[in-house]
Structure 1
């Protein structure tokens, strides 16, 4: 079964499939990620305040602790669901880009998926693949070696997304320590990480919408002369 939800656009370029269905699904899921992150920020901010305040009632503390745990579940589930669909969209974009510019890619197609899953290399490989897709999908570019198109949007999205790892790792370190001060510091770092995740999700929405539109326009261009 095809991973695309929309039909093939009217184009003479064999192998090009529309990204609009998958793109719309990714945008919706990114919206859910943002909603879950906003919930986590609200609950996390309250937990941070409670940790620094005078002792509160047991019931109040338990209620916010429960909400804090549920916010973790919500953010993780929406993140995983969005990640799966995003990778499907990303792979399809890479396949289309091969039609637009067969010789314009520095890495083989498999890295469009494995680049996200292999530890360490996932810190830079997906960005390189994304930039090649962006270059190949630029309307008006000829088929062949793709001209390198600078994309501040892709770079901004990637920088913010990777930047969110720093406070996350720091928060995990503090979480292993004992004492209210360390716990409060862990919550603060987690809040920073979630805020960066919201910013990255907003930028990802723009990347998905822009690249989907670019590929649609590119697919509708007249078939080039062999």
Structure 2
């Protein structure tokens, strides 16, 4: 397996790279980070593709009138997108499990101080009410404690993390609204399509911002160890 730092081949039975002395721990952490990064990118592309596909439905709806509009046709056209958002949610869940493993290790490798104990890396996502604000604070603490940041840089990190979490919450809420929205009238159909486009955009932006945090935290921690 190639070394994460210098690229030299490390035998599986050796704990350190013979060329640069990097520990296999860093190599494994980088591999997990790359896997999370790629899965998030795949989620972003699926959401982005769904959004562009929904945008194509807006033109015929804007050209339709109350006399030419057929709710049965509109329902058949929008029904697959409910399944698409369900598939996106399943993909996000699978990615989230790997992300939790990565975050658990990143938390342990960041020197601190942390406002929440390590157990919140897992329980912060499933505890009611706390799961609305604990996850972004955990990610922020891990990020800023993984390197040395000026005040302006800390504000930038906070903006990225807050934007990521806001898009996650909006994406989940808009996807739920899209699933229960009706298409009995032309106005309802147009509103449903706009909901779907907004949900897809939020999902894509959330994945992209999460990719940025995973990349930067992994890079900082590997560089600090080196």
With normalisation by structure 1, the TM-score equals: 0.72
Residue matched to 1:36: 46
Residue matched to 1:120: 129
Residue matched to 1:216: 222
The worse-fitting range, judged by mean Cα deviation, of 23-32 and 114-123 is 114-123
| 1:192-224 C-alpha deviation (Å, 9 max, x unpaired) | 12212212211211111111011112222xxxx
Structure 1 residue runs of 5 or longer lacking an equivalent are: 1-5, 141-146, 221-226
Relative to structure 1, the CA distance from residue 17 to residue 28 in structure 2 (aligned partners, 3 Å threshold; closer, same or farther) is: closer
Q: State which of 87, 107, 113 in structure 2 corresponds to 1:74.
A: 87
- What is the CA–CA distance in structure 2 between the aligned matches of 1:187 and 1:172, rounded to whole Å? 13
- What is the CA–CA distance in structure 2 between the aligned matches of 1:197 and 1:86, rounded to whole Å? 16
| 1:151-172 C-alpha deviation (Å, 9 max, x unpaired) | 5135324324314534753664
The worse-fitting range, judged by mean Cα deviation, of 41-50 and 112-121 is 41-50
Count of equivalent residues: 202
- What is the CA–CA distance in structure 2 between the aligned matches of 1:179 and 1:62, rounded to whole Å? 11
Residue matched to 1:64: 77
Structure 2 residue runs of 5 or longer lacking an equivalent are: 1-11
Is the Cα–Cα contact under 8 Å of residues 171 and 185 in structure 1 kept in the other structure? no
| 1:120-177 C-alpha deviation (Å, 9 max, x unpaired) | 222211122122212321169xxxxxx9x71513532432431453475366457355
Q: State which of 143, 147, 159 in structure 2 corresponds to 1:155.
A: 159
- What is the CA–CA distance in structure 2 between the aligned matches of 1:113 and 1:191, rounded to whole Å? 31
